Homo-oligomer: A and B are copies of this chain.
Amino acid sequence: MKRLDVKSHCPINYALECFGDPWSLLIVRDIVYFGKKTYGEFLASEERIATNVLANRLADLEKKGIIKKCPCDTDKRKDIYMLTERGLDLIPLLSEMALWGAKHDVDTDAPKEWVETLSRDKEHILPLVRTTVEKGGAVFMGPNSVVSKL
């Protein structure tokens, strides 16, 4: 948890120092693709992150300016986590990662149609994903999902 020393200012190393651990990008994925917003929703994700690790990662991501936390209006026990501008800027990176994984994992769960649509027309799709997520929507889930607009 102590990542105070900066190893270099290579942009790739900088990015890795911000989110190059096994969990951070899965949290961002949960927001972008599945519209998750609360601690409990992140905790319930398929990869079974440990609760203390989730708390650490959320705090780190907030400190790094990738997510922000707001109290929930309707339930005061909950906080709502959303992407900042820096976080939204991760969408193209996340997409390339998803395309690589979908191409190279023979057992991938990635929906074939989405992969084809995305790789065919990034210029059009990525801004659509961004504006959707900005408004609290997601790629696959919810009434305003990106896939429902295609």
Chain A interface size, under 10 / 10 to 19 / 20 to 34 / 35 or more: 35 or more
Nearest CB to that of A104 among chain B residues? Answer: B86
Q: Are B29 and A25 within 8 A (Cβ)?
A: no
* A10-B101 in contact given A16-B25, A25-B16 (Cβ < 8 Å): yes
Contact status B93-A96, CB under 8 Å = yes
Q: Which residues of chain B are within 8 angstroms of A47 by Cβ–Cβ distance?
A: 7-8, 10, 13
Q: Are B10 and A46 in contact (CB under 8 A)?
A: yes
Could you tell me if B20 and A94 are in contact, using CB atoms closer than 8 angstroms?
no
| Residue interface bits A8-22, CB-to-B below 8 A is 1, else 0 | 111111111110111
Instruction: Kindly name the residue among A11, A92, A99 whose own CB sees the greatest number of chain B CB atoms within 10 A.
Output: A11
A41, chain B: closest CB distance, angstroms: 15
Q: Do A14 and B108 touch across chains, with their CB atoms under 8 A apart?
A: yes
Asked whether, in the complex, the Cβ of A97 is within 8 Å of the Cβ of B29, the reply is: no
- CB of A116 closer than 8 Å to a CB of B: no
